[in-house]
Structure 1
C-alpha cells in the first residue's frame, strides 16, 4: 500500500526535487501540500513539475485533519518547521524533517512528544547519503586527530549558520574527542570572527555565496600530515535518496531520531 504524504515547502528548490521524487515513486502518494501563499490552489498551478491537482493548504492543522497523511515531510524554515512538526506529532502523524536550524531545546521537545505518542520522526541535518558518511568518517578520525576545523559552504539564501550538517558533525566528533583548545594560546583576531565559531575548541567557518549548494570540509591536523574529509552536493537531487530512505524508515519508528545514520545499513 502506498504511503500517503503531505509536503510543506513545495515552492522551494528542495521542495521541487522532493515533489519529483515522491510523484515518480509508485510506493508514495502525494496527497496535499502546505504553503503559506497559495491556499485553495492546486499544486499544478504553482509548480511546473507536477501535473496533478494536488490541493494546497495554508493551515497545517486543517490539512492534517482533512487529509490524514501517513507521513508529513517538512522542507521549510526553522520556526515554521518546528511548529508543523510539533503539530504532526500531536496528531500521531509521522514526520520527516529536512529543515535545519532547530535548537537543542526544540529537538528535545519534539523527541519527548514523539516518545509519548509513540510516533516516528526523523530529523536529518542532511539527506545526502555521502554527507552522512562524511560525518561518520569524521567521528572515526577524531579519535586519532583531535585538532580539527570545519569549513561549510552553502548558497547565499541559507538563513542559519553554521549549517545543521556542521553542527551534527561536531556533535558526532565530540563523541570521539575530548574538549581541546586549538591554535596558539595567545592568538588574537585583528578582524572579529576571523577564526570562526568555536565549540569545545572545534572551529567552524561558514561561507554563503551564489553558485554553491551544500559543501563541507572537515580538516584534521597532526604532525607532518593533514586529513581532509570532504563532501559536495552540486544539485538538490543529491538529497533525494536520503529523503526516500527517511520516508520508508519513519513508518517503522515510534520515537524521534536525529540523523539518517541511525537508519542506514552500515554493517
Structure 2
C-alpha cells in the first residue's frame, strides 16, 4: 500500500487527487499539507481521523508518506518539493510554471539523494501525446505557434504545458523557422515559438499547435473537459515513482 500525502488538498486538483487516492486499492491517504491552515483536525475537511493534517515542514519525515503529490502554486512548489526530498518522500509535482533555476536545483538535490520523483507539466495523456506529436511534426514544419486556453483562475501564463511543448518543438526542428514580426501581440516566445495564452471561464485546459508550410498547414489539438481526466496520469506516477532513482521531467518517462 503506497502512502500518499497531498499538498494543496483544498484546491480543485487537490480534491480530485484526494478522492482518487481514497478510491484506489493500492493507495492510502496518509496526510495532507497546507501552510495556510491552523485547524489540524481532519474532520474539519471531511477526512478520516487517521489522516494527518500538516502545516509546517518540521512535521515531515519519511514515515509520514511514501509519495508527496503537489498541486499548490508556482510560488510555493519549489520549497515544498525541497522539503519533501529532504524528508525522503518521493515528490510528484503537478504545478506548472516552476522557475527553471529551481527545477534544475531540485533535480540535482533529488539525484544526489538517489530519490525518484516527477515534475509533470501535464498529467493528461492527450497532452503528453500532443507534445510527442508536435516534436515529430517540427522536423518537417519548423514554423509553429501555440495557443493555450485555460480557466480564468490559472495563476501562470503561459502554461507549463505550452512551455514544455515549445521546448519539444525546438528539439524536433531540423531547420530554423522563418523570421516574423515581433511585438506584444505575437505572444511570448519560448525557443522561438510564439505562445498565446487565453484565460476564460468555461475552459479547463486546452492547447493547439499550429504548423505552417508552403501551401499547407497542420493543427494538433488536445482538450481536457474535466479535471478527472488528469487522474489516470497521477495514478500512474504514484504507482511508479518509487522505482525511479532520479527526478524526471515529463509523465512520458513513466509511461
TM range (shorter): over 0.9
The aligned counterpart of 1:241 is 232
Distance 1:79 1:179, change over 3 A: farther
Would you say 1:32 and 2:31 are equivalent positions? yes
* Secondary structure, counterpart of 1:65 in structure 2: coil
The aligned counterpart of 2:163 is 167
* Residues 62, 89 of structure 2: 8 Å contact kept: no
What is the TM-score of this pair, normalised by structure 1? 0.90
The aligned counterpart of 1:11 is 10
> Which residue, out of 122, 138, 144, partners 2:140?
144
Distance 1:201 1:65, change over 3 A: closer
Structure 2 stretches of 5 or more lacking a match? none
The aligned counterpart of 2:198 is 207
* Residues 118, 254 of structure 1: 8 Å contact kept: yes
* Residues 35, 55 of structure 2: 8 Å contact kept: yes
Structure 1 stretches of 5 or more lacking a match? none
CA distance in 1, matches of 2:176, 2:191: 6
What is the TM-score of this pair, normalised by structure 2? 0.94
* Residues 167, 190 of structure 2: 8 Å contact kept: no
* Secondary structure, counterpart of 1:96 in structure 2: strand
| Residue pairs, 1:80-229, within 5 angstroms | 80-177=76-173, 180-182=176-178, 184=180, 187=181, 189=183, 193-229=184-220
* Residues 4, 31 of structure 2: 8 Å contact kept: yes
- Per the TM alignment, residue 40 of structure 1 is displaced from its structure 2 partner at its CA by 3.9
- Per the TM alignment, residue 139 of structure 1 is displaced from its structure 2 partner at its CA by 0.4
CA distance in 1, matches of 2:192, 2:103: 24
* Residues 70, 94 of structure 2: 8 Å contact kept: yes
CA distance in 2, matches of 1:92, 1:53: 21
* Residues 107, 247 of structure 2: 8 Å contact kept: yes
Q: Which runs of 4+ in 1 moved over 4 A?
A: 50-53
User: Once the two structures are superposed, what CA deviation does each residue of 1:179-232 show, in whole Å capped at 9, x if it has no partner?
Assistant: 735454xx365xxx2111112331110011111111000111112211111011
Distance 1:43 1:231, change over 3 A: farther
User: Once the two structures are superposed, what CA deviation does each residue of 1:214-257 show, in whole Å capped at 9, x if it has no partner?
Assistant: 10001111122111110111111010000001111111011010
CA distance in 2, matches of 1:52, 1:237: 25
* Residues 40, 57 of structure 1: 8 Å contact kept: no
Distance 1:43 1:145, change over 3 A: farther
